[in-house]
Amino acid sequence: MPRRALITGITGQDGSYLAEFLLAKRYEVFGMVRRSSSEKVDRIQHIRDRITLVQGDLHDQSSLISCLKSVRPEEIYNLASQSFVPTSWNQPILTGDITGLGVTRMLEAVRSVAPQARFYQASSSEMFGQVRAMPQNETTPFYPRSPYGVAKTYGHFITVNYRESYRLFACSGILFNHESPRRGLEFVTRKVSYEVARVKLGLTKELRLGNLEAKRDWGYAGDYVKAMWMMLQQPRPSDYVVATGESHSVKELVQIAFAHVGLDWQRFVKVDRQFTRPAEVDMLVGDASKARRELGWSPTVRFPELVKMMVEADLALFH
Ligand code: NAP
Ligand code: GDD
């Protein structure tokens, strides 16, 4: 019998890679999707006939219970959230409700309907915020700097709490930034790769960005979904940092992206204060030695390769 997995957030970047990964492992894959007036399934269109979509929303407890009752999954990957940090200042209540309290709703549904299922929570390096140690690992204290980071910190601790209170097999993956050609257009890597392609093709003359000095530990989404699965295959549930261990600035990102198409970034990039944040996370760099040691996980794509992959994919979009 194939194993059954449920992915919330299957229409997102990670959901699409995880669905592909689990299909290759011969899982029966179910995805929870929220109702929309127009279907947004571009990222999973190519596997649409091999997965089953079930309606549900992290706002709505009864929909989560019905979803789990109908799917009866052995593994649950809770990837759904309001995931864009700037939106979390404009919509802090909604972000708290989906990204924070939504995790409790999922865990309550698991506890009452599928207590034997293994549960993965998509936690974030954004929880480290104003970092207390360098590099950050599973024991580094959190100091979130955005309503999103605060909501994710709640989601992390409620996952740990349900594991300890009810003995659920619940893991929290503290993933550092991970990108791909399927990244949403508003995130900085994709914004850069997409606009570099447009500049190269003469479709625009400038790229407006916020803080060029911010540094992130950027990896490839395809590598990171594998770590999620590995966590749920362990004998005991635990929490893991997943990161490359390298940090690069937004400035380095634009340098590499423009250089890849033979252009000098300084001619095109303009700093625009509308893209700076009320509070910034200046620098993130992860220490994934626990994941390496216990899961046998390591990243396969390095930063320059990732940027080039994204620029090439965006150039191909326009041809
Ligand atoms: P993403 O592309 O923004 O996808 C988010 C998903 O959540 C979408 O499928 C979205 O559905 C769904 N969703 C939003 N609100 C929902 C609701 N109320 N009920 C049900 N589904 C809802 O995010 P991602 O980059 O794949 O990230 C996956 C998860 O990992 C997120 O929780 C994110 O916060 C976390 N994370 C991401 C990173 C990263 O660097 N990518 C790092 C650490 C943690 P629609 O398509 O309908 O909008
Ligand atoms: N989005 C964006 N747009 N970011 C910009 C821009 C811009 O024009 N200019 C500079 N930046 C800087 C931001 O200030 C931030 O320091 C950095 O680029 C990365 O921004 P994002 O790509 O939006 O990602 P993020 O780090 O805020 O959040 C992502 O990673 C988290 C993990 O640490 C998201 O995927 C979160 O969902 C995830 O949890």
Is residue 230 in some structural domain?
A: yes
d(CA 37, CA 174): 33
Q: What pLDDT is attached to residue 40? A: 85
What is the whole-number distance in angstroms between the Cα of residue 248 and the centre of ligand 2?
A: 13
Q: How many CB atoms lie within 10 A of CB 203?
A: 10
Looking at the structure, do residues 77 and 33 belong to the same domain, yes or no?
yes
Q: What pLDDT is attached to residue 319? A: 82
Q: What is the identity of the amino acid at 145?
A: R
Is residue 134 in some structural domain?
A: yes
Q: Which ligand number lies closest to the CA of residue 221? A: 1
Range of the domain at 237: 4-178+218-242
Nearest residue CA, atom 15 of ligand 2? 214
d(CA 59, CA 78): 13
Looking at the structure, do residues 194 and 225 belong to the same domain, yes or no?
no
Pocket probe for ligand 2: among 175, 213, 216, the residue whose CB has the most ligand atoms within 8 Å is 216
d(CA 215, CA 231): 27
- Backbone φ and ψ of 162, nearest 5°: -70, -30
Looking at the structure, do residues 195 and 67 belong to the same domain, yes or no?
no
CATH of the domain at 256: 3.90.25.10
Looking at the structure, do residues 42 and 188 belong to the same domain, yes or no?
no
Give the model confidence (pLDDT) of 106-138 as tens digits: 999 999 999 999 999 999 999 999 999 999 999
Q: What pLDDT is attached to residue 151? A: 99
Looking at the structure, do residues 171 and 255 belong to the same domain, yes or no?
no
pTM, to two decimals: 0.99
Is residue 287 in some structural domain?
A: no
What is the whole-number distance in angstroms between the Cα of residue 163 and the centre of ligand 2?
A: 30
Could you say which residues of the chain have pLDDT below 50? none
Pocket probe for ligand 2: among 123, 148, 187, the residue whose CB has the most ligand atoms within 8 Å is 187
Q: Which residues sit with their C-beta closer than 6 Å to ligand 1? A: 8-9, 11-15, 34, 36, 40, 57-59, 79-83, 98, 122, 124, 175, 177-178, 184
What is the whole-number distance in angstroms between the Cα of residue 203 and the centre of ligand 1?
A: 30
Is residue 292 in some structural domain?
A: no
What number does the ligand 2 atom closest to the CA of 272 have? 8
Nearest residue CA, atom 27 of ligand 2? 85
What is the whole-number distance in angstroms between the Cα of residue 205 and the centre of ligand 1?
A: 31
CATH of the domain at 42: 3.40.50.720
Looking at the structure, do residues 203 and 153 belong to the same domain, yes or no?
no
d(CA 269, CA 271): 7
What number does the ligand 1 atom closest to the CA of 9 have? 9
Looking at the structure, do residues 44 and 156 belong to the same domain, yes or no?
yes
Q: What is the identity of the amino acid at 298?
A: S
Q: Which ligand number lies closest to the CA of residue 87? A: 2
Name residue, tokens 């929870």: 32
Is residue 291 in some structural domain?
A: no
Q: What pLDDT is attached to residue 101? A: 98
Catalytic residues: 124, 126, 148
How many structural domains is the chain composed of? 2
Give the model confidence (pLDDT) of 24-65 as tens digits: 999 999 999 999 999 889 999 999 999 999 999 999 999 999
d(CA 2, CA 4): 6
Q: How many CB atoms lie within 10 A of CB 118?
A: 21
Q: Which ligand number lies closest to the CA of residue 217? A: 2
